[in-house]
Structure 1
Amino acid sequence: MKLKVITLDGGKASGDVELNDDVFGLEPRADILHRVVTWQLEKRRAPASGTRERSDVARTGKKFGRQKGGGTARHGDRRAPIFIGGGKAHGQRTRTFGHSLNKKVRALGLKMALSAKAKTGAITVLDNLDVQDGKTKALAGQLAKLNLNKALFIDGEAINVSFAKASSNLVGIDVLPAIGANVYDILRADSLVLTRAAVEQLEARFNG
């Protein structure tokens, strides 16, 4: 697949870029994408910490008081939940929510997410992400001309500093380095914008 490379201000840059069909030309499968997105979202969840129950607290197990004749209720030890410092009754149990997913499936999911955007024509390739003086107002005007309202920008090894500064206050605009490209962020963006460096990095990531 061949795409024209444009500049951020909407002007045509020199040359085109050839997208590798092994990365951008696959047929997307909903089941693979669903598995990867589910894995991503579950990995974000922090594990639930457990509470100490009656058998976990460090208090004496010796019986205190008399069984009968003391004028109070019968108790066996101080670890009972009714006492201050005792164990929690029916407490929260320790849980982890993440699950493993084969690396090949994760890589395939990312390829399919990129291919899904390419198939719908939602990929734009820019020469670079340089923004003069890092001004938000200037960038907002440029993105309006390109009709990029809710877009994910992916750069090369590192994020362009001027673009990151200018886009930090723009709602719906996200930017990631190529190493941070992931299925969830790609699918939820209306448009995917790649730089030349990002295309090279992504293709090298799968072919290397």
Structure 2
Amino acid sequence: MKIEVKTLAAKDAGAIDLDDAVFGIEEVRSDLLQRVVKWQLAARQQGTHKTLGRSEIARTKKKFGRQKGGGGARHGARSAPIFVGGGKAHGPRVRSHAHDLPKKVRALGLRHALSSKAGSKALIILDDAVLTEPKTKDLRASLEGLGISNALFISGEQVDENFAKAARNLPLIDVLPAQGLNVYDVLRRDTLVLTKAAVEKIHERLSAKEA
């Protein structure tokens, strides 16, 4: 598929061919996208939540009350979960929430995410994302000219330092290098903006040979 290329000044800069296997999938699978997003967010969880069990409660372990005749159960410790101040039964423990997801599934999920943006006309290709000065005002004016207010920018191997600094103060604008492209960040923004260098990197990463 062919798509027009724009400059930051919203001027035409030719066109570029996109791989249909990466950007042209017609039937986008939401279940596949959900699997990849769930895998990403699970790996982000700290897993540091924890409660004290009955063996960790600093309370006396001495048996209280008589064995018989007390009219209740024969408890041996105040640290039992049944008592106020006792340990938590089956409470959360420190652990990793990360789980495995096949590499091919992750790559396929990224193809479907890119195709969903291309199919919904929410994909913009820029000639380059470079600024001479790190001025947010200038970048905001350029984005308004392109009709962009909520977007993820994917640059080439490295992000232009001036562009990254100018974008820091803009809400709903994210900037990542091509290596950082991921399904979650693509879906959480309304528009996906790729540079020509980013398209080349994406084609190398998601070419048919890895399918």
With the length of structure 1 as denominator, give the TM-score of the two structures: 0.82
Q: Which residue is equivalent to 1:108?
A: 108
Q: Which residue is equivalent to 1:71?
A: none
> Any residues of structure 2 matched to 1:10-49 within 5 Å, and which?
10-13=10-13, 15-27=14-26, 28-49=28-49
Deviation at 1:89, TM superposition (A): 4.2
Q: Which digits, 9 at most, give the CA deviation of each residue in 1:184-204, with x for residues without a partner? A: 111121111000110011111
Whole-angstrom CA distance in 1 between matches of 2:166 and 2:184? 24
Deviation at 1:12, TM superposition (A): 1.9
- The percent of aligned pairs where both chains have the same amino acid is 50
Deviation at 1:157, TM superposition (A): 1.1
Whole-angstrom CA distance in 2 between matches of 1:198 and 1:60? 64
Whole-angstrom CA distance in 2 between matches of 1:116 and 1:93? 38
Look up the equivalent residue of 1:162 and give its one-letter code: N
User: Given that residues 178 and 202 in structure 1 are in contact (C-alpha distance below 8 angstroms), is that contact kept between their aligned partners in structure 2?
Assistant: yes
User: Given that residues 79 and 87 in structure 2 are in contact (C-alpha distance below 8 angstroms), is that contact kept between their aligned partners in structure 1?
Assistant: no
Q: Which residue is equivalent to 2:97?
A: 97
> Any residues of structure 2 matched to 1:1-208 within 5 Å, and which?
1-13=1-13, 15-27=14-26, 28-56=28-56, 88-90=87-89, 92-94=91-93, 95-207=95-207
Secondary structure of residue in 1 paired with 2:55: coil
User: Given that residues 129 and 195 in structure 1 are in contact (C-alpha distance below 8 angstroms), is that contact kept between their aligned partners in structure 2?
Assistant: yes
Q: Which digits, 9 at most, give the CA deviation of each residue in 1:150-185, with x for residues without a partner? A: 011000111111110111101111111111111111
Whole-angstrom CA distance in 1 between matches of 2:57 and 2:188? 46
Whole-angstrom CA distance in 2 between matches of 1:93 and 1:16? 54
Secondary structure of residue in 2 paired with 1:112: helix
Secondary structure of residue in 2 paired with 1:130: coil
User: Given that residues 156 and 177 in structure 2 are in contact (C-alpha distance below 8 angstroms), is that contact kept between their aligned partners in structure 1?
Assistant: yes
Whole-angstrom CA distance in 2 between matches of 1:79 and 1:139? 61
Deviation at 1:76, TM superposition (A): 6.0
Whole-angstrom CA distance in 1 between matches of 2:138 and 2:44? 35
Look up the equivalent residue of 1:122 and give its one-letter code: A
> CA separation of 1:204/1:91 partners in 2, compared to 1, >3 Å: closer, same or farther?
same
Q: Which digits, 9 at most, give the CA deviation of each residue in 1:30-49, with x for residues without a partner? A: 11111112222222211144
Deviation at 1:87, TM superposition (A): 7.1
Whole-angstrom CA distance in 2 between matches of 1:134 and 1:187? 27
Whole-angstrom CA distance in 1 between matches of 2:117 and 2:162? 26
> CA separation of 1:75/1:186 partners in 2, compared to 1, >3 Å: closer, same or farther?
closer
Deviation at 1:55, TM superposition (A): 2.8
Secondary structure of residue in 2 paired with 1:187: helix
Deviation at 1:56, TM superposition (A): 4.7
Which stretch of the first structure deviates more once superposed, 51-60 or 114-123?
51-60
Q: Which digits, 9 at most, give the CA deviation of each residue in 1:126-160, with x for residues without a partner? A: 11111231111111111101100101100011111
Look up the equivalent residue of 1:19 and give its one-letter code: L
Q: For structure 1, list consecutive stretches of 5 or more residues without a partner in the other structure.
A: 69-73
Secondary structure of residue in 2 paired with 1:134: coil
User: Given that residues 49 and 92 in structure 1 are in contact (C-alpha distance below 8 angstroms), is that contact kept between their aligned partners in structure 2?
Assistant: no
Whole-angstrom CA distance in 1 between matches of 2:52 and 2:187? 41
